Amino acid sequence: MTASTRQRRSPVRIELTALVDVVLLLLIFFMVSARLMPEFAFELELPSARAASEVELHTNELRIAVDAEDSYFLSGEAVTFAYLEARLSDADHPIVVLDADTGASHGAVVRILDAAEAAGIDAVRIAAKLP
C-alpha cells in the first residue's frame, strides 16, 4: 500500500464546549427554579404583625409549622407531637422557627413552646408576615 492510496484520518476529538454550555444552563435553571418553589407543600396563612422584621436564615434552625387543623409539620413533613418532642430533645438546633397558621389554636402553639423550653432550646422565633 502506498501513501497515496492510504486515507489520512484526523484524530478524533470530542468538542465539550456545547456540553459545558448546556450543563451550565441547566444548573442556572435549577438554581432559579429551586428558589421559586414554595417552602412547604401545605398552605399557611401567617398572621401579620407591625413589629415583624426580616431575619437571616440559619442553616442550623429547625422549622416547625402548625396548620389550621392543628397538625404539626417538621421541615415540611407531617409529624406527630410525640415525634416532634423527641426531635426537639435530641436536636442540636439552637434556633426553632415556628410557623403557625392564623387559624391554629393557641394550645397547639403553646405545646410547641413548652416542648422547646423543656428541650433546653433558648431561641424560638415566631414567623409572621409583614403588614
Query: Which of the two residues, 130 and 124, has the higher pLDDT score?
Result: 124
State the CB neighbour count (10 A cutoff) for residue 107.
8
pTM for this model (two decimals): 0.60
> What's the pLDDT at 33?
77
What cell does 68 get? 389550621
- Let me know: does 121 contact 40? Beta carbons within 8 Å: no
Query: H helices of the chain, where?
Result: 17-36, 81-90, 106-118
Most trustworthy range by pLDDT among 6-15, 87-96, 99-108: 99-108
More confident residue, 115 or 2: 115
Least confidently predicted of 3-12, 21-30, 66-75: 3-12
- Residue-level pLDDT at 87: 87
> Alpha carbon of 102 to those of 48, 67, 96: distances in Å?
9, 8, 19
Residues 6+ apart with CB under 8 A from 131: 48, 49, 50, 52
Residue showing cell 412547604: 40
pLDDT, tens digit (0-9, with 9 covering 90-100), for 107-129 = 999 999 999 888 888 888 887 77
